[in-house]
């Protein structure tokens, strides 16, 4: 009670005093002004630029500047990393140091001097350095105790000390691997794809940054990393047991991926580099095999010996020159694809010119075997009742010569004429040449009007960013990527029910051959997994799809051709899948996703009945499957904007 009374009394007194202080209704006097102060500089990110740098006896000196995100000079830098790699006596990048200066650490190497206005002079030990050294490297300020995050790696500027290695165009790396600044530590191709650098203009530097660590010399021979840049670029690396294994790019040297002998896929046209045993052996695997009957025995050679014979002229690799000559030997042009006057056949008129633009007599060609093909478009896709379960109809006789070098192929077993029909046709075939190793080879002919008559949501030429020109496919008669993926759509149609390829266990994969589902499937679907194909080179494993690698512009599901996608093992087992669902289900494979598609009109088991009339094709009679189109309602919710947001394009 006493305590309660005391509290109550205190409250009453305080209230009374407070009321008495304000009972005149006036404010009190202002207090004294506070002491002047400068608000602290808050740095959330920073940009560094290399101003000058040079090698000297046992050191590398770098003058650089650092500013924060607001352009304010950073005056309290307390940590900076430097990596530097110097060429050895053989002219190869080999000797590397990775050193970090830390303020207050007596054991930290080197010195850092602040010149004011965010400018610093860094001097770091590099034992192999002399005033005559040539090398490369980068700095990376930040991540100390002052709260400034680390900057990007900033490359040394190109001066008289800089080791310029002109081999690869960074844009070619980006074409397959994606934008390196978007890469995470979980990137699909290379866990440290995010280890790129920048120059003073903040432009991304890739290959030259990689060379700082992945030098031209293996670790066992004095280099920094086990795997040299040549090894990684040509598809080899050491495994955990110290054995060199094929990896990465090596597995891309297949018919439908990358031409191993087309150096320009990655390299610039005018390659400048220093020959080394390590670099050359990545392609010339038996270079130092004493038991091989080589013109010159290299088994006891060292890197110093290479320069004796191999100057810049020896580095002019053929780079697929013979194949390029064949690909460019003749240029075929489609003049028209029309019905004959009696509507019974389709006529494909074409002409060809040589590399000098002169018209050639197609019927007189002995080094090429072009042939015309054509079919009818139905519901936005090519009908394929040809020589077997899924191919276009082809000419069975030589073309008829016309004026001005034009010839006309007659497609005698085309589908019957239908009022208002749209025709697709072209020329494919082979052009023969001699491979650089002496054996006969063929390059494909691929030309058609497919781009004019078929809707697409991607640019087929984007295929060439990862897949090289002139690749073999289907016996070198077609399937080359010279027209990009567009050339493939003439046969990979919704009407192509051809069964999937045979698996290793002898079974046949149940995969739709229509181009959209097929491409999605082989890049990241069941087809890819079952056949052990490579991952798509995305910037993060958690994002298995990089849609913009293939797609261009807006994707509007209302524009999707409503042709039912056929699939089957033989003519008696053909069934259908609605078009949008066939594409989406290659990635969205779960039951919940498929049920959602079904609710929007999708169907994964459309009953298909062949037409009553049998079609007489090139080499037999075939059933014609032409189901009525089915429209799905996906576009009601999945607008182009929502699709773009969900799929990052």
580-613, pLDDT tens digit by residue?
A: 999 999 889 899 999 999 999 999 999 999 988 8
Q: Left (φ > 0), alpha (ψ -120 to 50) or beta: where does 5 sit?
A: alpha
Which residue from 318, 339, 550 is spatially nearest to 441, judged by alpha carbons? 318
Q: What is the DSSP letter of 592?
A: H
Which residue from 268, 238, 236 is spatially nearest to 252, judged by alpha carbons? 236
- Sign of the torsion formed by the C-alpha atoms of 298, 303, 308 and 313: positive
Q: What is the pLDDT of residues 357-377, one digit of tens each?
A: 999 999 999 999 999 999 999
Using CB atoms within 10 Å of the CB of residue 198, give its burial: 0 to 12 exposed, 13 to 18 middle, 19+ buried: buried
CA distance 564 to 205: 47
CA distance 112 to 75: 12
CA distance 236 to 231: 5
End-to-end CA distance of the chain: 75
- For the chain, the farthest-separated pair of C-alpha atoms sits apart, in whole angstroms, at 124
Structure tokens at 356: 């000098």
- pLDDT for residue 2: 46
Residue with tokens 């045979």: 502
CATH class, domain 324-453, is mainly beta
The domain ranges of the chain are 324-453, 515-647
Residue 487 CB contacts under 8 Å (≥ 6 apart), including other chains: 446, 448, 450, 460, 478, 479, 480, 481
CA distance 111 to 601: 70
- Sign of the torsion formed by the C-alpha atoms of 589, 593, 597 and 603: positive
CA distance 414 to 391: 12
Dihedral over alpha carbons 635, 592, 498, 630 (to 10 degrees): -30
Judge contact between 83 and 136, C-beta under 8 A: no
Q: What angle do CA 404, 410, 416 make, to 5 degrees?
A: 140
Residue 146 CB contacts under 8 Å (≥ 6 apart), including other chains: 43, 74, 76, 77, 78
CA distance 468 to 482: 8
CA distance 139 to 525: 42
The ranges of the chain with pLDDT < 70 are: 1-25, 188-191, 251-261, 312-316, 318-319, 385-391, 469-473, 478-484, 499-509, 534, 536-537, 541, 544, 649
Residue with tokens 């040079």: 54
- pLDDT for residue 315: 58
Residue with tokens 């000079």: 73
Structure tokens at 527: 């087809």
- pLDDT for residue 252: 66
Judge contact between 647 and 547, C-beta under 8 A: yes
Residue with tokens 């086990």: 226
pTM of the complete model: 0.78
CA distance 117 to 83: 24
Judge contact between 500 and 511, C-beta under 8 A: yes
Q: What is the DSSP letter of 97?
A: E
């Amino acid at each position: 009670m006493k305590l309660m009374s005391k509290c109550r009394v205190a409250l009453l007194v305080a209230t009374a005093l407070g009321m008495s202080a304000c009972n005149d209704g006036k404010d009190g006097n202002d207090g004294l002004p506070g002491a002047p102060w400068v608000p602290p500089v808050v740095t959330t990110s920073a940009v560094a630029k290399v101003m000058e740098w040079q090698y000297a006896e046992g050191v590398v000196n770098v003058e650089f500047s650092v500013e924060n995100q607001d352009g304010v000079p950073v005056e309290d830098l307390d940590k900076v990393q430097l990596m530097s790699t110097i060429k050895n006596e053989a002219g190869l990048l080999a000797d590397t140091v990775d050193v970090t200066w830390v303020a207050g650490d007596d054991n930290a190497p080197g010195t850092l001097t602040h010149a004011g206005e965010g400018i610093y002079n860094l001097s770091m030990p590099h034992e192999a350095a002399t005033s005559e050294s040539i090398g490369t490297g980068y700095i990376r300020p930040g991540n100390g105790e002052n709260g400034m995050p680390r900057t990007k790696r900033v490359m040394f500027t190109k001066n008289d000390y800089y080791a310029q290695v002109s081999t690869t165009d960074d844009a070619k790396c980006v074409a397959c691997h994606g934008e390196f600044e978007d890469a995470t530590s979980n990137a699909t191709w290379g866990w440290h794809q995010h280890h790129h650098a920048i120059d003073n203009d903040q432009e991304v530097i890739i290959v030259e940054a990689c060379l700082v660590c992945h030098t031209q010399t293996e670790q066992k021979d004095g280099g920094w990393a086990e795997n040299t840049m040549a090894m990684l670029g040509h598809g080899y690396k050491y495994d955990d047991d110290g054995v060199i294994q094929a990896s990465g790019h090596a597995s891309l040297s297949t018919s439908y991926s990358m031409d191993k002998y087309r150096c320009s896929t990655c390299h610039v046209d005018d390659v400048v580099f220093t020959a080394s045993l390590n670099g050359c052996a990545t392609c010339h695997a038996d270079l130092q095999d004493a038991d091989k009957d080589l013109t010159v025995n290299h088994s006891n050679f060292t890197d110093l010996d290479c320069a004796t014979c191999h100057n810049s002229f020896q580095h002019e690799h053929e780079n697929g020159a013979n194949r390029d000559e064949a690909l460019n030997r003749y240029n075929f042009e489609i003049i028209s694809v029309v019905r004959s006057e009696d509507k019974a056949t389709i006529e494909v008129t074409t002409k060809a010119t040589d590399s000098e633009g002169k018209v050639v007599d197609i019927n007189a060609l002995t080094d090429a075997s072009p042939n015309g093909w054509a079919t009818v478009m139905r519901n936005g896709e090519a009908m394929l009742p040809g020589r077997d379960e899924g191919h276009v109809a082809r000419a069975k006789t030589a073309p008829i010569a016309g004026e001005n070098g034009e010839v006309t192929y007659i497609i005698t077993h085309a589908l019957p004429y239908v009022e208002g029909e749209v025709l697709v046709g072209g020329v494919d075939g082979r052009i023969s040449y001699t491979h650089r190793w002496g054996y006969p080879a063929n390059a494909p002919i691929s030309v058609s009007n497919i781009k004019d008559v078929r809707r697409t949501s991607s640019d087929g030429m984007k295929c060439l960013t990862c897949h090289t020109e002139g690749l073999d496919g289907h016996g070198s008669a077609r399937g080359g990527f010279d027209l990009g993926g567009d050339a493939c759509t003439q046969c990979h149609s919704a009407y192509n029910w051809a069964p999937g390829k045979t698996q290793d266990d002898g079974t046949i994969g149940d995969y739709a051959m229509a181009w959209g589902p097929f491409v999605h499937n082989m890049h990241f679907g069941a087809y890819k997994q079952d056949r052990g194909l490579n991952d798509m080179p995305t910037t993060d494993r958690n994002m298995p799809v990089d849609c913009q690698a293939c797609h261009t512009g807006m994707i509007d599901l209302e524009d999707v051709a409503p042709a039912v996608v056929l699939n089957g093992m033989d003519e008696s087992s053909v069934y259908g899948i609605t078009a949008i669902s066939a594409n989406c289900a290659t990635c969205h494979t779960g039951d919940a996703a498929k049920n959602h598609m079904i609710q929007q009109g999708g169907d994964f088991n459309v009953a298909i009945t062949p037409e009553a009339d049998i079609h007489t094709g090139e080499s037999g009679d075939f059933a014609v499957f032409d189901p009525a189109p089915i429209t799905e309602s996906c576009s009601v919710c999945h607008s182009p904007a929502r699709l773009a947001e969900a799929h990052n394009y």
